[in-house]
Amino acid sequence: MIDFLLNGQPRRCEASPETSVLELLRETLGQTGTKEGCASGDCGACTVAIGEAGPDGSVRYHSANACITPAHQLHGRHLVTVEGLAQGDTLHPAQAAMVECHGSQCGFCTPGIVMSLFTLHEQQHHTPAPLTPAPLTPQRLEAALGGNLCRCTGYRPIRDAALTMGEHPEQRPLWLDAAAPPPAAPETDARFAQPATLAELVELRRRHPDARLVAGATDLWLETTQRLERFERLIDVTRVAELNAIEETTLDDGRPGWWIGAAVTYSRLEPLLEEHFEPFAHLLHRLGSAQIRNRGTLGGNVANASPIGDTPPVLLALGSRLWLTGPEGERELPLDDFFLDYKKTALGEGESIRAIFLPRPEAGRTLKVWKLSKRREDDISAVLGAFSWKLEDGILREVRLAFGGMAATPKRAAAAEAALEGQAPSTAAFQAARLALTRDFQPMSDVRGSAHYRQLSAANLLERLRLVLLRDHQMQPSSHTDREVMLHAYAH
């Protein structure tokens, strides 16, 4: 059974493990304002808001795609849908602004857009003290609405609604401040479990080593929405306290950094990345919408072991480590040794990723991350390159080049690294590195790109890296073309 609040009202529902929030709303609860569009978390028609009580007891809401959010994760949460926002005939500011600005035509996507505006309004006007709401910049507005596809209206009136909803009288339902019942464990379900501690997770994994683990479900849930598969047994790791921690530490080898719990969402990780790894933070906005970042986890992206996962190449370039736990105990493993083959990892029977080590940036070390995809945002990578290096007295040191989309696993380009290590960033050195890529990778062809395209693109990313080095370190250009590219880079 799932106990939660729906628009301020207590609800108790029974659902199978593969039931999504969208299915629960439309088929069980009769709440049809939330729409199904793509059933994959891309279009935002199904956007809802989920509230959780913070440390101070105040309820904080985040947007989520109902179509790929497991219904069981509502347990102990407050679900808000478009039906609950209006008070009688009085509209919520997000709704009133959409009406006044003519932000809707057919209306199919409007409920999801309104819910994204609602969560933005909550963040702007009801951020609990002592936190201060971030200013509503164009970039923040774009991020808030980036996961909502408008099929017919056009975004100008929707943008106008977002900018003016704060001018409307505050008509906020009082029940929005109500926390859901304490998230006690749900009644025992033979096919679904929600452990609250690491010890409980380890015991469940010992008893059910073949059970699927679920956190954000942003990828896993496509198996049920797209392939119509049925999950025999699921273990939800989002309530495990140890997996939700971000701990600053120093490894035994002296490297300082942070252990990022495997269930930490991208949204929670984003402030740390913005402060210390700006290229990594920028990648998150290319990786997925706010709805996806609110749910997806770094641990899930690594454990999924997809050759086109966006974060593993960056973690490889940074020299990250994994903290694994299971019935036989705990161990650490360099990320370089984790990916064995397509969708095959070094996890033993019953093991799980507890945390990912993110090293603190060293003085003089630079990180660059570039993603190539058919769409700029919310799209799967064709090729992703992550590059980290030091430049000491004009010589490249500790070069780490990692790619996604070029092999059966995310992988470092060992031959290309060797071609650059200890060399000046010259045209000849980078030409050798580009040639070495043909020894490092033999990519495949698929709908996102041919093998030739991928090989050429990876080589071009190395050329881009060389030109960035020329620009950033004010080195002497070696050709007229270099000068033109550098001028263009400075201009942008």
- pLDDT by residue, tens only, the chain of 492 residues: 899 999 999 999 999 999 999 999 999 999 999 999 999 999 999 999 999 988 778 899 999 999 999 999 999 999 999 999 998 889 999 999 999 999 999 999 999 999 999 999 998 888 776 677 777 888 889 989 999 999 888 899 999 999 999 899 887 788 888 776 665 554 447 689 999 999 999 999 999 999 999 999 999 999 999 999 899 899 999 999 999 999 999 999 999 999 999 999 999 999 999 999 999 999 999 999 999 999 999 999 999 999 999 999 999 999 999 999 999 999 999 999 999 999 999 999 999 999 999 999 999 999 999 999 998 887 899 999 999 999 999 999 999 999 999 999 999 999 999 999 999 999 999 999 999 999 999 999 998 899 999 999 999 999 999 999 998 876 655 555 555 544 444 344
pLDDT, residue 187, reads: 45
Both 168 and 273 in one domain: the answer is no
Residue 282 lies in a domain: yes
CA 272 to chain centre: 14
Tell me what pLDDT residue 478 has.
Answer: 53
Q: What is the CATH number of the domain that holds 397?
A: 3.30.390.50
Indicate if 333 and 246 belong to the same structural domain.
Answer: yes
CB 368 within 8 A of CB 279: yes
DSSP 302-320: HHTT-TT-SHHHHHHHHT-
Residue 475: the pLDDT is 61
Which are the contacts of 480, defined by CB distance < 8 A and separation ≥ 6? none
What are residue 403's DSSP bridge partners?
385, 411
Q: Please tell me whether residues 293 and 440 are part of one structural domain.
A: no
Cβ within 8 Å of residue 412, ≥6 positions away: 316, 317, 336, 400, 401, 402, 403
Determine the structural domain holding residue 462 and report its residue range.
Answer: 383-491
Q: Which residues pair with 13 in a beta bridge?
A: 2
Residues 145, 226 within the same domain: no
Q: Does residue 395 form part of some domain?
A: yes
194 shares a domain with 164: no
CATH code of 141's domain = 3.10.20.30
Go through 402-425 and write b for each residue having 16 or more CB atoms within 10 A of its CB, e for each that does not. Answer: bbbbbbebbbbbebbbbbbbebeb
Instruction: Report yes or no on 369 lying in a domain.
Output: no
Query: CA 299 to CA 429: how far, in whole Å?
Result: 36
197 and 309 together in one domain:
yes
CATH number of residue 209's parent domain = 3.30.465.10
The verdict on 154 and 47 lying in the same domain is yes
Which H/E stretch holds residue 249?
A: strand 246-250
Looking at 114, 147, 177, the residue that finishes a domain is 177
Domain boundary among 126, 154, 177: 177
| Under 8 Å between Cβ of 298 and 390 | no
Instruction: Evaluate whether 222 touches 38 at the Cβ level (below 8 Å).
Output: no
Domain count, the chain: 3
For residue 385, what is the enclosing H or E element? strand 383-392
Evaluate whether 457 touches 448 at the Cβ level (below 8 Å).
Answer: no
Q: Give the integer Cα–Cα distance in Å for 176 and 128.
A: 13
Q: Are residues 350 and 420 part of one domain?
A: no
Looking at the fold, whether 160 and 219 belong to one and the same domain comes out as no
Looking at the fold, whether 416 and 297 belong to one and the same domain comes out as: no
Place of tokens 């999924």: 304
**How many whole angstroms separate alpha carbon 33 and alpha carbon 112?**
9
Domain boundary among 177, 204, 236: 177
Residue 109's SS3 state is coil
- Identify the bridge partners of residue 443 per DSSP, sorted by sequence position: none
Q: Are residues 211 and 170 in the same domain?
A: no
Asked whether residue 52 falls in the same domain as residue 171, the answer is yes
